[in-house]
Amino acid sequence: METIEAKTIVGIAKRIDPTLPEVEREIAAHWENFYQLDIREKILDKKEPDVYAVYCDYAGIFENAYTLVLGCDVKELVQEIPEGMVALLIPPATYERFTAEGEFPRCLIDTWQTIWKKNLNRTYQYDFEMYGPNFYKEPQVVEVYVGINPLSSI
């Protein structure tokens, strides 16, 4: 467990319904839009070039609809948010960190399957994946942060 400081993510958002048969295609298309529209380059005042995939606005637990925001952590919201993008303010919180390492996306899928099987006292507020510099090396690495109730470990 670790406490993560507040983050301000600017990026593109899409509502995802994991019960639909085309959910994988929808998520892939959202990522395609992120790269084809060069979203990372349009985000100003980034803290670092890392890309975040933030899961939020859960309709209950992970098996229900949620919003997926793809973007970057910015220093401050000092300028207007680019058209078609959103700003997401993530408050400081406690997270359990998992590392997905290996061939992408298989390693990430396996990591999420492991998370879903664990008996975590999840908050279902914010979870996120961080695609940092090690994502672009072999083996690929994605850090996965799952929001948990800090009292659950007492």
The tokens for 51 are: 């890309």
Other residues' Cβ atoms within 10 Å of the Cβ of residue 68: 20
More confident residue, 80 or 10: 10
Kindly state the percentage of the chain with pLDDT values over 90.
83
Q: Where are the domains of the chain?
A: 2-153
Report the DSSP pairing between strands 93-102 and 2-4. Answer: antiparallel
List the beta strands (DSSP E) in 39-150.
51-56, 66-73, 86-90, 93-102, 122-131, 140-148
Phi and psi at residue 153, to the nearest 5°: -95, 0
- φ/ψ region of 38 (left if φ > 0, alpha if ψ in -120 to 50, else beta) reads left
Half-sphere exposure of 70 (CA within 13 A, CB side): 22
pLDDT tens sequence across 24-43: 999 999 999 999 999 999 99
Q: What is the pTM of this model?
A: 0.92
CATH class held by domain 2-153: alpha beta
